Amino acid sequence: MNSDLGLWAVPIAVLGGMLRVSTPFLFVSLGECVTEKSGRINLGLEGTLVFGAMAGYGGSYLTGSPWLGVLAAGIAGLLFGLLHAALCSLPKVNDIAVGIALMILGSGLAFFFGKPLIQPAAPMLPGLSLGAWSSVPQVRAALEVSPPFLIGVVVAVLLLFVFKRTRIGLVLRMVGDSADAARAMGYPIIPVRVAATAFGGFMAGVAGAYLSLYYPGSWNEHISSGQGLIAVALVIFARWNPLACLGAALIFGGAGALGPALQSVGVTSGYYLFYAAPYILTLVILFVTSSPRKALEGAPRELSITR
Amino acid sequence: MSEITQGSSFAGAAARPLLGEAARRRLEGVLIPVTALLVGLLLFGLFIALNGKSPEEFYYLVYRGGFGTWFSLQNTMTRAAPLLLTALCVALPAQLGLVVIGGEGAFVLGGLAAAVVGPLFGFAPGWVAIGLMALAGICAGGTWIGLVGAMRHYRGINETISSLLMAYIAIALMHHFVEGPLKDPASLNKPSTVPLGPDMRVGEIPGMDVHWGFAVGILACLLAGFVLSRTTFGFSARIAGGNARAAAVQGLPVGRLILAFTAAAGAAAGLAGMIQVAAVQGSANASLAAGYGYTGILIAFLARQNPVAIIPMALLIGGIDAAGGFIQRRMDLPDATVLVLQGILFVAILVSETLSGRLLPSRNAKG
């Protein structure tokens, strides 16, 4: 594999890993970004992600079309989002706690229904070869980009436009910044939040399908290692800006790819410490950018998690 | 729950309702969670029935496998032992309104610290080594979650997110040390630290097949309940949890309370990790990260963050866990069935919060 590239193999492998590993982070964080803009937080996206991975794999296996699998995962995610939204719309029900509960329920249901799916092989999503110009196999492998990643980039740009330039975005931001103001203007609070949470669930479901149908591309009970939760922290790090979510997802993907990349050139000691890199990175960034006296800049003011 | 009764005597001159305010709240505090648990069990029964299995058989097997015989009851108590302490790791910060969900990290590091410290004192009497191991577990866990509290207080970092990140980091650290610098060369199949000597192992409660960790967990829950309901310290914490700004205006040291409660929470989970190593595993290895910290979250919420109520809830969840393998074999259900049940119970209890203050008629209800 890395015969003549020497140490160059590491950055190339990190680049490739970054494009692959970042996609689920990107989708979950974009969805969560919309949910949080409306003033709610959904920690249950981790469970939604796992369920999406199962539903996507099952859908692809049963229909023979990976894209129908993605759709099935998205719809399953949407339903989980609706459940979270409906429960949190009851008075005195805490959105963080419901998220934790749905994390357990989502994973539990995914493992329950996913047990017969561990053996069979489902059709995978195809990759796009953007590295065909290169004669170096490592570069070609690194630039094998998945269509969902490109879709995610487009969605990030679209969301930025929606937030900044459209009426829907304005209403969403108003509901998230001051429910009182939105109510006074006659905008419905709960329907907006329900829609925003359902969108977040849909995106997390799609992210799950990416895990099981593209990379790592299999269904098992260890498919997610907390990507759904990291993505929630990542939205804070990205200051509720969809384009910053893209950047943050790429950084996280790169950090996550560092361990395996170093391992491929023979650096094996401290593997687990590299594995912890994305978590340490998030914590450091939260530490540097937080302030004890004021809420985070750009934070929706109705959001319970920032204050 | 609430011991504040001044309110009812203050307003009680006019019409006398059937129940005083305090009694009403106390009754509600039992009725609501019990109803929620029953509804959750009913919903799960429906889920089982929809999957073509018999819910009656499932619940009968839970009873048989978790509570029905002395043998299964002891098994349940053993399973509940670490959960009592990891649930405290959630319930203590919750008094201040903090949602700490990273007890798994403190648990894992507590176990690792104990496994490191124990063998260093091989020359000392067993009880000294055990005491020092417990101290090591408490310190490691207390520091870990205490850091979460410090980051919350000094930097305003959300404790839910940071404690979770810290849990992932702790698990990575544990893997790193157990499979690297601290690996016992003799542990080939499953990388572990050096095994503890027989006199450093925590034994069983006389006359029972349950290790002392269960007694320690029960005592810790009772102690926490006492401190919260009967001391000024606990009272000030509840005030700070109700309204941090009002507490600060009253001169209560909110920052110090946050540090003390998060450190105590971590200490409980760290102690649970130490017990797991000293009473069950005999050394630190990857089995430490088996989710005891995460199950503790569920139990604390089922107990509505009341330390004393943690005891029955830990026994309930421990019993369901203990019966899990048995049920799986008998009914041919996936092992995730228990996880589905936990999730449904969790959702049911959270949704039931919406009824609080509305279930029974209150004299000062707003109509």
Instruction: Note the pLDDT tens digit of each residue in A42-77.
Output: 999 999 999 999 999 999 999 999 999 999 999 999
Give yes or no for B342 touching A (CB within 8 A).
Answer: yes
Task: List, as ranges, residues 53-82 from A with C-beta within 8 Å of B.
Answer: none
Give yes or no for B344 touching A (CB within 8 A).
Answer: yes
The reported pLDDT for the residue numbered B366 is 44
- Please list the pLDDT of chain B residue by residue as tens digits (367 residues): 444 444 444 444 445 556 777 888 888 888 999 999 999 999 999 999 999 999 999 999 999 999 999 999 999 999 999 999 999 999 999 999 999 999 999 999 999 999 999 999 989 899 999 999 999 999 999 999 999 999 999 998 889 989 989 999 999 999 999 998 899 999 888 999 999 999 999 999 999 999 999 999 999 999 999 999 999 999 999 888 888 788 888 888 999 999 999 999 999 999 999 999 999 999 999 999 999 999 999 999 999 999 999 999 999 999 999 998 888 889 999 989 999 999 999 999 999 989 887 776 655 544 3
Give yes or no for B363 touching A (CB within 8 A).
Answer: no
How many C-beta atoms lie closer than 10 Å to residue A175's C-beta? 27
Residues of chain A with C-beta less than 8 angstroms from the C-beta of B288: none
Give yes or no for A299 touching B (CB within 8 A).
Answer: no
| B53 is a domain residue | no
> Which among B36, B55, B91, B99 is positioned nearest to B345, based on CA atoms?
B36
Query: Does B176 contact A270 at a Cβ distance shorter than 8 Å?
Result: yes
> What are A50's two structure tokens?
């796992």
* DSSP characters over B275-307: HIIIIIISS-BGGG-SSHHHHHHHHHHHTTT-T
| B361 is a domain residue | no
How many Å lie between the alpha carbon of B155 and the closest alpha carbon of chain A?
Answer: 4
How many Å lie between the alpha carbon of B302 and the closest alpha carbon of chain A?
Answer: 11
List the domain boundaries for chain A.
6-306
> What are B296's two structure tokens?
């503790």
How many Å lie between the alpha carbon of A91 and the closest alpha carbon of chain B?
Answer: 5
| B363 is a domain residue | no
CATH of domain A6-306: 1.10.3470
Which amino acid, residue B363?
R
Query: Does B339 contact A111 at a Cβ distance shorter than 8 Å?
Result: yes
Number of independent structural domains in chain B: 1
| B91 is a domain residue | yes
How far from A208 is each of A52, A71, A149, CA to CA, in Å? 4, 11, 13
Residues of chain A with C-beta less than 8 angstroms from the C-beta of B180: 269-270, 272
Q: What is the mean pLDDT of residues A169-182?
A: 94
Say if CB B323 and CB B58 are below 8 A apart. Answer: no
| B70 is a domain residue | no
Query: Does A112 contact B334 at a Cβ distance shorter than 8 Å?
Result: yes
How far from A72 is each of A123, A235, B141, B264, CA to CA, in Å? 14, 25, 42, 45
Say if CB B36 and CB B347 are below 8 A apart. Answer: no
How many Å lie between the alpha carbon of B149 and the closest alpha carbon of chain A?
Answer: 12
The model's pLDDT over A146-173, given as tens digits with 9 standing for 90+, comes to 899 999 999 999 999 999 999 999 999 9
pTM (2 decimals)?
Answer: 0.90
What range does the domain containing B216 cover?
83-301
Helices (H), chain A: 9-37, 45-63, 66-88, 95-114, 137-142, 147-165, 167-177, 179-184, 189-213, 227-237, 242-264, 271-275, 277-289
How far from B36 is each of B61, B197, B339, CA to CA, in Å? 21, 46, 17
